[in-house]
Amino acid sequence: MKAFFDMGGYAAFVWPAYAVTLAVIGLNIVSARRALARAREQARRRLQIQGEAR
């Protein structure tokens, strides 16, 4: 188990590399979903304003 985390001595490079990549993936997912929620909210508000304007 320790050998696994040690990565043959390259731990200081391998793990940050994986961390950064997984972080990028995670941020992409979160950001995409948030953008969709925001877009839906804005669309809803726009419709509301238009509905009131009539």
The contact set with another protein (CB under 8 A) reads 4, 6-10, 13-14, 16-18, 20-21, 24-25, 27-29, 31-33, 35-36, 38-40, 42-44, 46-47, 50
What's the min distance (Å) between Cβ of 52 and another protein? 13
| CB closer to another protein out of 50 and 52 | 50
CA proximity to 15, closest of 4, 25, 26, 1? 4
Shortest reach from residue 47's CB to another protein, in Å: 6
